[in-house]
Amino acid sequence: MKTIVLFCFFIGSFFQAQTHRYIYELQLKMDSTESGHQKFYMLLDINKNETKFYGRNLLTADSLNKKFGNLDNKHVDMTGQIIKRKKGSFDNENFINIKFGYYSYKTTDVINWKIENDIKKYDGYDLQKATADFGGRHWIAWFNKKIPFNEGPYKFHGLPGLIFEIQDDKNNFIYKLVANQNDPGNFSTDDFLESNFGIEAVVITEKQKRKLLLDFYNDPFSFERTNFLNSPDLNINIGGKQIRSIEELNTQVKNLQEIIRKYNNPVEVDKAMNYK
């Protein structure tokens, strides 16, 4: 009942100059072979000119920094789903952390929806079904025509109403709308989305992004390796483990490469890295 009251309250204020925030529970499989999901809470911010989608943990860290006047609280996104776009556009600006850097690159992501006749209830709302193929997956969405935003989580938008639920047919990614909020004016994300807690986003191409990811995979501890070559007696701590030789470092490289290969299950699986 609380969710219904909130929605009804905000319907009357949709067209004021403010940020409309919708909170989604995201369940995802970092490894497609696993049976269980990891859970994240993601925020969809809609204002007059832009739409943004990002993890709630980013906002939490930023809020703590502003409250205590520092940048000690940082967060690195693990979902790979930080984006923003102009209103009504299919051109998305994507943001990603790669090792010590923060980058942005643009993609055009047109989704061709097929609206079905199926209707179901969700907290008293009538939701209509739509399907689409996007990113190498088949998606099933449920949207509501009475919420006057053609938006949804991540890059999923373009339906005649707000997407309440969407998931792929293999249940790797499941998004469910759980709450909404309102913020006067255009809520600023400059300190944690356009930049990452003091690290400005470097503009690159999608091709350059793939090269950076491959370079990181091939030698994730390249900085530490250089230090070893310059100072053979150096001890380096990696994940709480003391590394005292190149051989021990190479073992850590192989372990991390195995993890990277295992958790290589992005939303757009047709763009997954081919690590060898």
What string of DSSP letters covers 156-188?
---SSSEEEEEEETTSSEEEEEEEEEEEEB---
> pLDDT (tens digit, 9 = 90+) per residue, 53-76?
999 999 999 898 887 877 677 888
Same domain (yes/no): 171, 109: yes
- Enclosing domain of residue 250: 206-271
Residue 122 belongs to a domain: yes
Calculate the average pLDDT of the chain: 90
Residue of 135, 139, 143 lying closest to 174 (CA atoms): 139
Same domain (yes/no): 223, 187: no
Q: How many alpha carbons fall within 13 Å on the CB side of residue 186?
A: 9
Residue 105 belongs to a domain: yes
As a whole number of angstroms, the distance between CA 76 and CA 97 comes to 7
pTM for the complete prediction? 0.90
Residue 81 belongs to a domain: yes
Give the SS3 label for residue 11: helix
In Å, how far are 23, 84, 157, 185 from 53, measured between CA atoms?
10, 6, 12, 17
- Token pair for 37: 């999901």
* Residue 43 confidence (pLDDT) above 90: yes
To the nearest whole percent, how much of the chain has pLDDT over 70? Answer: 93
Name the band, by pLDDT with cuts 50, 70 and 90, for residue 235: confident
Is 142 within 8 Å of 131 (Cβ atoms)?
Answer: no
Last residue of a domain, one of 203, 230, 249: 203
Name the band, by pLDDT with cuts 50, 70 and 90, for residue 16: low
